[in-house]
């Protein structure tokens, strides 16, 4: 029997678009809502403000904006898109998938799609899933979106969570690199430690605690967080997965041209950079402007890097993330444009 093998293509990001709502919630605003202070928030998180969606603005609305923005910067039409993956923990509704809503909103009538739930790691996981479809040749392209409207699941009387999260995200178009083109995805490490699940969760609304008057009264439909447990895990794990993906590809932190970390806490990012021996100016940090937008932080960071001209073709880019689950991951790629 003749053996058939498929040569994998190299997947690359060819366009980025982002969308954040115009409304702002500043630390000064929060001082009037809960017992906190601008100094306390800045020292512990690095956050100065976060964007908040108006009532009635859903994840699909912002995801549609980000997708159209990415398409405008690409050579593709909506009808060219073959796969849509929306990474989110704030879908418009439990069903249908938000990807279905985005598909019809942008007119991608030939695309199929689905949602991916991995909290703060969502975009990085979705990007790798999309890259595999492109690398195998199953699809010519994938539209990957990381978007959350976190204000819809935050208790603004809980200072442990309300100071951290914001709304927004972005979209990336993934296509195959040309033959011999030295750009695109290089490697990734993704992990899950499910024992940490209870430390960051939304207990109500699923099959474990279906929605009732009691679950609403007990505020089970808001994010619950053990801040210390999450901080300790994230600080250790982000640096760890980055170190390993660099080492197994023959790189050091000093080789990284642009570090795109999840924006959970500035102290976590600074620790990872220091442990990797990476110059501080390689890190893209915009948590002061946007807070933690969960699945939206990485594409917003990419947008910031491009706007600040800190990313150019051929640059070695390191992504890193840690999120509820506990999920974690790191990825390396050569920037394509």
Sorted by where each begins, the domain ranges of the chain are 11-176, 184-334
Q: Say whether domain 11-176 belongs to CATH 3.30.2130.10.
A: no
What's the pLDDT band for 5 if we cut at 50, 70, 90?
low
Angle, helices 122-135/297-307, rounded to nearest 10 degrees: 80
184-334 shares the fold of 11-176: yes
Q: Is the pLDDT assigned to residue 86 strictly greater than 80?
A: yes
* Residue 1 banded pLDDT, cuts 50, 70, 90: very low
Give the model's confidence band at 7: pLDDT under 50 very low, under 70 low, under 90 confident, else very high. confident
**Predicted pLDDT at 4:** 47
Look-up of token digits 């796969």 = 83
pLDDT of residue 2 exceeding 50, the answer is no
Q: Whole-angstrom Cα distance, residue 146 to residue 294?
A: 8
What's the pLDDT score for residue 180?
A: 87
Cα gap 110→215, rounded to integer Å: 40
pLDDT, tens digit, for every residue of 197-217?
A: 999 999 999 999 999 999 999
CA distances from 332 to 164, 255, 259, 280 (A): 27, 11, 10, 18
Q: Would you state the structure tokens that stand for residue 309, as one six-digit string? A: 């001209």
Rounded to two decimals, what is the model's pTM?
0.96
Packing angle, helices 38-45 and 266-276, rounded to 10 = 30
Q: Which residues are catalytic?
A: 120, 262, 292
Which residues, 6 or more positions from 140, have their beta carbon under 8 angstroms from its beta carbon? 80, 82, 134, 175, 176
Residue 55 backbone phi and psi in degrees, to 5: -60, 135
User: CA–CA separation, 337 vs 335, rounded Å?
Assistant: 6
CATH of domain 184-334: 3.40.47.10
Residue for token pair 């100071």: 163
Going by their DSSP bridges, the two strands 200-201 and 224-225 should be labelled as antiparallel
Average pLDDT value for residue range 1-19? 81
> SS3 of 103, please?
helix
Q: How far apart are CA 131 and CA 159, in angstroms?
A: 38
Query: Mean pLDDT throughout 254-260?
Result: 98
């Amino acid at each position: 029997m003749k053996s058939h093998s498929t040569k994998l293509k190299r997947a690359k990001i060819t366009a980025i678009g982002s969308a954040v709502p115009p409304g702002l919630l500043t630390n000064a605003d929060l001082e009037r809502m809960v017992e906190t202070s601008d100094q306390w928030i800045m020292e512990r998180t690095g956050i100065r403000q976060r964007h908040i969606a108006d009532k009635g603005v859903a994840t699909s609305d912002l995801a549609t904006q980000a997708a159209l923005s990415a398409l405008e910067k690409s050579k593709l039409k909506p009808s060219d898109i073959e796969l849509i993956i929306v990474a989110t923990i704030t879908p418009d509704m439990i069903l249908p998938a938000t990807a279905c809503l985005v598909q019809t909103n942008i007119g991608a009538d030939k695309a199929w799609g689905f949602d991916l739930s991995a909290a703060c790691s969502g975009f990085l996981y979705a990007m790798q899933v999309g890259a595999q479809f492109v690398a195998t040749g199953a699809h010519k392209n994938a539209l990957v979106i990381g978007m959350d409207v976190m204000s819809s699941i935050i208790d603004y009387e809980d200072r442990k969570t309300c100071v951290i999260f914001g709304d927004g995200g972005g979209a990336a178009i993934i296509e195959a690199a040309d033959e011999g083109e030295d750009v695109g995805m290089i490697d990734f490490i993704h992990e899950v430690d499910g024992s940490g699940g209870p430390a960051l969760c939304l207990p109500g609304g699923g099959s474990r605690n279906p929605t009732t008057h009691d679950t609403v009264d007990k505020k089970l439909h808001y994010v619950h967080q053990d801040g210390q447990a999450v901080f300790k895990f994230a600080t250790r794990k982000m640096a760890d997965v980055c170190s390993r993906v660099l080492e197994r590809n023959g790189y050091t932190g000093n080789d990284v041209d642009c570090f795109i970390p999840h924006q959970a806490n500035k102290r976590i990012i600074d620790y990872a950079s220091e442990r990797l021996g990476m110059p501080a100016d390689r890190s893209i940090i915009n948590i002061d402007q946007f807070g933690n937008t969960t699945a939206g932080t990485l594409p917003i960071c990419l947008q910031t890097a491009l706007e600040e001209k800190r990313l150019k073709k051929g640059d070695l880019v390191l992504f890193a993330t840690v999120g509820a689950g506990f999920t974690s991951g790191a990825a390396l790629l050569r920037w394509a444009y």
